[in-house]
Structure 1
Amino acid sequence: MSRKKKKKDDHDEHLGEDWLLPYADLLTLLLALFIVLFASSSVDAQKFQEISSAFNQVFSSGTGIMDFPSPMPQKNSQSLDEYQDKGENDNKEGDKNKQQQSEQQSLSEVQRRVNNYIEKNHLENKLATSLSGEGLLVSIRSNVLFASGSAEVRKQDIKMAKEISDLLVMDIPRSVIISGHTDNIPISNSKYDSNWELSVMRAVNFMKIVLENDKLDPQLFSAKGFGEFQPIASNKTAKGRAKNRRVEILILPKGASTNTQQ
């Protein structure tokens, strides 16, 4: 009677220990699953191979997951914060691109108005526009506004200068740079010592007329003179020099400052 009881107790004790093995395997598989789920957001070919090797080790040799080296090398792994930062940067870049596209459309509308004015008044050989990432550029031949060697806007051209000022009135005001340019022929009068001084005064005098329009904010305007140092054509020909003698109106994108322009 005592032998049967002893055998029964041994059997119960053996059954009580066997459940630990499948339980440990289950925990191992669960840990492996969690690691795979965590890594799956950024798995590349190398990491996938390492994870696959880890599974082969677990299933074939019975090695516990806690004994196996991490399938994601610490040096190359990225934290959750880094992924969040990347996502925020991508969103900011997308918003910036949308704003730039919207601003280009707005400046395109201003360019259309200026081009209509040029066409209506048959000024194609005297005024021109171009649109770029820097802004909308309106170029005016200096002989349209000034007599040779003079920085005073001719009386017959004051009306045109005022009409151009009306075209600069925008729903969203933007910074504007007015710059004067000359050819490389030295100035030969006593009023101006250099082409640089002549170009500056032409820009200033033209800007004064433009700002007589009370719908424009003088704080958004600046004048610059570049003399002969920014030619757009060769100074070796009369035609090229005529192109270089010009006044330019640069309308900057919204938010840009005249202080950041050269």
Structure 2
Amino acid sequence: MAKAKKEAPPKKGCPAWQGTFGDLMNLLLCFFVLLFSMSTLDAAKYEEVAASFSAAFGLFSGGQNALGDGALVGDGVSQLSSLSAYTTSMGASSSGEAEDITDSTSGEETSEGASSDVSEAEATLEAAQLEASEELAKEVTEALQEGMSEEELAELTEEEVISDVILNYTSQYVQLTISGSLLFASGSSQVQESAYPVLNKVGAVLESYAGGTIEIEGHTDNVPISNSQFANNDELSDARALSVFYYILDVTDLDPANIKHSGRGEYQPVADNTTAEGRAKNRRVEIRIYNPLSAQY
């Protein structure tokens, strides 16, 4: 019997088609490198785009402004819209449409439209807040005047809600101003007994209508004080605000966490400190009831 022929060992190296394919890829790479080397980069336009991104989004100034300062996260959709406009204009630059898109759509119209929407929203919110404060002021006034006779109501001045209490309001809060002469003796921070009925009424109103933040501020005139208890008007005003705070807590079930108290000394006068009448008006305690639409509610 004839011996079987041994099969020839396979040749080493890659198949022939792989070599051809590799040569083709090298040629294509060289071709695109050649095209790139022949093209020119508009440095001025590149710097303009980079500067626009850096100013608007903080992307190129070290990287920290994008998220570290909260620019992109805080501004949200408005920045994404601007980024889309920039991207569109950059993509259209090859066909000569970039300048038109930037000027007509993503430029003045976008910023003016956004500003108009923001202004309109702010005006709507301001009006709603003012309406809420006005409604709250009416309810507080009725509650404070409940039980008063017609003669007592007739004796009130135009500003007073009840004797020694003046009410006004802003879009953020309703404010009750109580005369310092009613609440305290001169140079003292202890609430006088004559003020108990007024503070009891105020406490009942706060309990009924103050669902959020309440702020108590003490104020003085600019006459210097220095006695065994207080070194200056700052300490006196702070102690008076704290005394009213403690009294309100005693006569109500309000949560102390919702009540802020501070002394403002002589630094926010509402009248002329050169006259006795003006100084009397400046010695006061202000209680603010923030409405439900207020940012501090």
TM range (shorter): 0.5 to 0.7
Q: Which structure 1 residue ranges, 4+ long, deviate > 4 Å from structure 2?
A: 68-72, 85-89, 92-99
Measure, in 2, the Cα distance between the counterparts of 1:249 and 1:172: 11
Shift, 1:160, TM fit: 1.5
1:77 aligns with 2:115: no
Paired position in structure 2 for 1:256: 295
Q: Which of 145, 163, 167 is the aligned partner of 2:201?
A: 163
Paired position in structure 2 for 1:197: 235
Identical aligned residues as a percent: 32
Q: Which of 174, 188, 211 is the aligned partner of 1:173?
A: 211
Shift, 1:70, TM fit: 5.7
> What TM-score, normalized by structure 1, do the two folds share?
0.61
> What TM-score, normalized by structure 2, do the two folds share?
0.54
Shift, 1:95, TM fit: 5.5
- The verdict on how the C-alpha distance between 1:136 and 1:200 changes in structure 2, with shifts beyond 3 A counting, is same
Paired position in structure 1 for 2:60: none
- The verdict on how the C-alpha distance between 1:189 and 1:118 changes in structure 2, with shifts beyond 3 A counting, is farther
Alpha carbons 1:181, 1:247 under 8 Å: kept: yes
- The verdict on how the C-alpha distance between 1:177 and 1:86 changes in structure 2, with shifts beyond 3 A counting, is same
SS in 2 for 1:212: helix
RMSD: 3.4
SS in 1 for 2:132: helix
Measure, in 1, the Cα distance between the counterparts of 2:136 and 2:209: 10
Measure, in 2, the Cα distance between the counterparts of 1:230 and 1:239: 16
Shift, 1:237, TM fit: 0.7
| Count of residues in correspondence between the two structures | 189
Measure, in 1, the Cα distance between the counterparts of 2:267 and 2:124: 36
Deviates more, 1:161-170 or 1:209-218: 209-218
Paired position in structure 2 for 1:58: none
Paired position in structure 1 for 2:280: 242
Q: Per chain length, whose mean CA-contact separation is higher, i.e. which structure has more relative contact order (CA < 8 Å, sep 6+)?
A: 1
1:225 aligns with 2:263: yes
What runs of 5+ residues in structure 1 fail to find an aligned partner?
1-67
Alpha carbons 1:175, 1:256 under 8 Å: kept: no
